[in-house]
Structure 1
Amino acid sequence: MAINFEEYQNFGKAQLEAVQAAATEVSKQLQAIAVETTDYSKKSVESGSAFVEKLLAVKELNEAIALQQEFAKTSYEGFVAQVTKLGELYTNVAKEAFKPVESAFAKVKASAN
């Protein structure tokens, strides 16, 4: 079986292009994740600061307990929503990263047949 150098070279070029495309897409997706995480962190700090201010203004223990319960509830709901959103973003990273690679393999498989 003779090795066709041109096919081998085309295969290598296709793989390199696929890896570059995947790296570019992963970079974009990770930047989006970083922005999302930064935004959530800012909101969390602001929410915590607002809670402390409200807590310092409370005169009754019952009010403090109710305020703490509400803060815990909203913080938990916000955290769950953020984790869900980040999970979706990471899933998109994986999907987008492998699209170019899958495409390159499909091209090579088609040319081999």
Structure 2
Amino acid sequence: MFAGFEDLQKLNKDQVDTALKNFGNINKGFQKIAAEMADYSKKSFEEGASAMEQLMAAKSLDKAMEVQSDYYKSAYEDFVGQATRISEMYVDLAKDAYKPYEEALGKMGK
């Protein structure tokens, strides 16, 4: 019976260690996502300000329409690319979060 208690203690310690390690990995993943979003926001703001300057400097309606059209096209493409990157980061985060538990379940099955 005492050996069973020691096994239970070891299992509990392993689970706590796994949870703490996993929490650290998840935290790092969210920090990467937040940094990526901050960089995108900064870049998007700068590009918007630049487009506004070009729009204000336009001498004709045709030039203003061209600047606006180019900006919208670029902003849309950047947004779609950013959304794809962020979704991939979330998928990787979910896989990393699940991996320690998958390994623990594999050990329990043996």
User: Which interval holds the TM-score relative to the shorter structure?
Assistant: over 0.9
Runs of 4+ in 1 over 6 A off after TM superposition: none
What secondary structure does 1:54 align onto? helix
Could you tell me which runs of 5 or more consecutive residues in structure 2 were left unpaired when the two chains were aligned.
Answer: none
Query: Scaled by the length of structure 2, what TM-score is found?
Result: 0.93
1:3-45 Cα shifts (integer Å, max 9, x gaps): 9212221221111111111101101111111110000000001
Aligned to 2:70: 70
Could you tell me which runs of 5 or more consecutive residues in structure 1 were left unpaired when the two chains were aligned.
Answer: none
Matched to 2:69, the amino acid is Q
Report how many residues are paired.
Answer: 108
Between the aligned residues of both structures, percent identity stands at: 39
- Which structure is richer in relative contact order (CA contacts within 8 A, separation 6 or more)? 1
Aligned to 1:16: 16
Aligned equivalents of 1:20, 1:71: Cα separation in 2: 45
Query: Scaled by the length of structure 1, what TM-score is found?
Result: 0.90
TM-align CA RMSD? 1.2
Is contact 1:11–1:108 with CA below 8 Å preserved after alignment? no
Say whether 1:5 aligns with 2:14. Answer: no
Matched to 1:19, the amino acid is A
